[in-house]
Amino acid sequence: MPDWSEQAPGVYARRYTELDLTVGLVVGTERCLIIDTRGSREQGDELAAAVRAVTSVPPVIVLTHAHFDHAFGAASLSAAFGDCPIWAHAGCRDALEEHAESDRREWMERYRAEKRHAAAADLAATPIAAPTRTFDRAALLDLGDRTVELVHPGPAHTGHDVIALAGDVVFAGDLVEHAPGGSFSEESFGPDTHLAAWPAALDRVLAHRPRVVVPGHGDPVDAAFVARAREDLHTLADLRAGVRAGTLTLAAAVDAAPLPPEVCRAALS
């Protein structure tokens, strides 16, 4: 099991082998904030125990977005901590309502294909917890001696992404991904991704002048990494516009793109 890494006093990141997911924890004198919940009942239980090992103050949860690997541990955490509040963008609640079951089916099939039957069974038995506190633009959470601001920076990885600002540490969810050898993976781009708007959302992350940015997957990065990722997305958005306008073939766009071919194909399709 991984350990918490302290990014600033009382501000932690925890990176898992499973899907290289990274979650966050901000500890105040009266409450703590758990940023993302992992992807199943058992994974949520493990995270609850890991939070308890750091602090005994009651938690508040925020979901950066509705994808299963970030949101499906919420019911376990909520149960472990006595129905603690679950914050998210209003669009996250809608997306969970519409897509949680298809997400579950898709990933159960993937696990079975990989002969990971225990993971499939865990996912099958995972209850989905809906967010209990939603917002559209921003929300301020009082943790006692500190506050954390939740901000929707505009559509990007999904239409309902949320970042959490804890001093000079920004938890960016899947707006930022630190994949081995690059900024993004095939999973970064899906049918709910807003590629053309994503660079502007990263401008809003950078406007907070973060010292540390905790991505949704991988180790924490600095502002320069995010600025490079922003340029890559900008290039991908331009290439996709060319493909859609018919001035560029998909093969030529993939050749010209700054990321590995399979990542580019996911972004450009």
Chain residues in the site for Zn ion (CB under 5 A): 67, 174
**Residue with smaller CB distance to Zn ion, 143 or 213:** 213
List the one residue out of 56, 55, 16, 8 whose CA is nearest residue 36. Answer: 16
How far CA 163 is from CA of 65, 169, 170, in Å, comes to 9, 10, 7
Q: How far is the CB of 144 from Zn ion (least distance, A)?
A: 30
d(CA 28, CA 79): 21
Q: How far is the CB of 239 from Zn ion (least distance, A)?
A: 22
Q: Which residues contact 28 (CB under 8 A, 6 or more apart)?
A: 10, 57, 142, 143, 144, 145, 146
**Residue with smaller CB distance to Zn ion, 122 or 174:** 174
Q: What are phi and psi of 159, to 5 degrees?
A: -85, -5
Q: How far is the CB of 210 from Zn ion (least distance, A)?
A: 20
Q: How far is the CB of 65 from Zn ion (least distance, A)?
A: 6
Burial of 109 (0-12, 13-18, 19+ CB in 10 A): exposed
Q: How far is the CB of 161 from Zn ion (least distance, A)?
A: 9
Please, what's the largest Cα pairwise distance for the chain? 59
Q: How far is the CB of 95 from Zn ion (least distance, A)?
A: 11
List the one residue out of 118, 20, 133, 17 whose CA is nearest residue 74. Answer: 133
Q: Up-side HSE of residue 217: CA atoms within 13 Å toward CB?
A: 23
**Residue with smaller CB distance to Zn ion, 102 or 247:** 102
d(CA 8, CA 169): 7
